[in-house]
Amino acid sequence: MQKLAIVRKEIGYTQAQFGELIGRAWPTVHAIERGKLRLTEEVAQKASEETGVSLKWLLEDDPQTPPYSEWDFEPVPWNKEFFEKVQAMKQSYSEALPPFADEATANAISAMVEDWVPIYTAAVKAGRGSVAAYHLSKFFREMSNKFGEDRPEIPAKMRITYRSEKIGDVVKESAVYVHPFSGIHVNIRPFDPNIDRVDYIE
């Protein structure tokens, strides 16, 4: 059975109801389930967002594999009850915000980090850390070309923290940029003896 049909039948929706849920006409749902149309990434993403079923399961896994969700970072069984919880949670969000925007972003970032760290660690041990970093940079360029970028406008004043850390007899000094939106601290360069202070630069 086609995976979209598995999801639809589990939650008890008709093709028309499921089409309305994912923003597609029922003939499209019907054609996908019959194998007349390919399940695109866009349709699969919408189905995943609305039901909570794993996007990876929809796009990659064998239909014989029971459906699961990855919304809590680890795969958990997906069923009608899970779908109903997703719908109830979506209702609790403000209409001014995209549904699950923060959770989806956090999950995506977490998944990427979990996948990347062991790969990079293995590459470093093999003496190929720079090559691995190059391929990651190339991958992000390809994604940028495919999806574009939505970078927030950086305010005129950026917070820079100058830090000093003494390790044994060695003093390590650095300038740290604090991203104004995420709060993420990024070491941007070694700095000078003017340390342990917070400045704002134009």
Radius of gyration of the chain (CA): 23
CATH code of the domain containing 53? 1.10.260.40
126 lies in the same domain as 162: no
What is the number of H-type helices and E-type strands within the chain? 8, 6
Distance CA 48, CA 69 (A): 9
Residues 83 and 13 in one domain: yes
Per-residue pLDDT tens for 129-147? 878 887 888 888 898 898 8
DSSP codes, 161-182: EEEEEEETTEEEEEEEEE-TTT
Tens-place pLDDT, residues 20-70: 999 999 999 999 999 999 999 899 989 998 999 998 899 987 888 999 998
Domain that holds residue 193: 158-201
DSSP per-residue string spanning 65-97 = SPPEE-TTSS-EE--HHHHHHHHHHHHTS-TTS
Regarding whether 164 and 136 lie in a shared domain, the answer is no
Which pLDDT value is given to residue 124? 85
- Indicate whether 152 belongs to any domain: no
- Do 87 and 123 sit in the same domain of this protein? no
Asked whether residue 162 falls in the same domain as residue 190, the answer is: yes
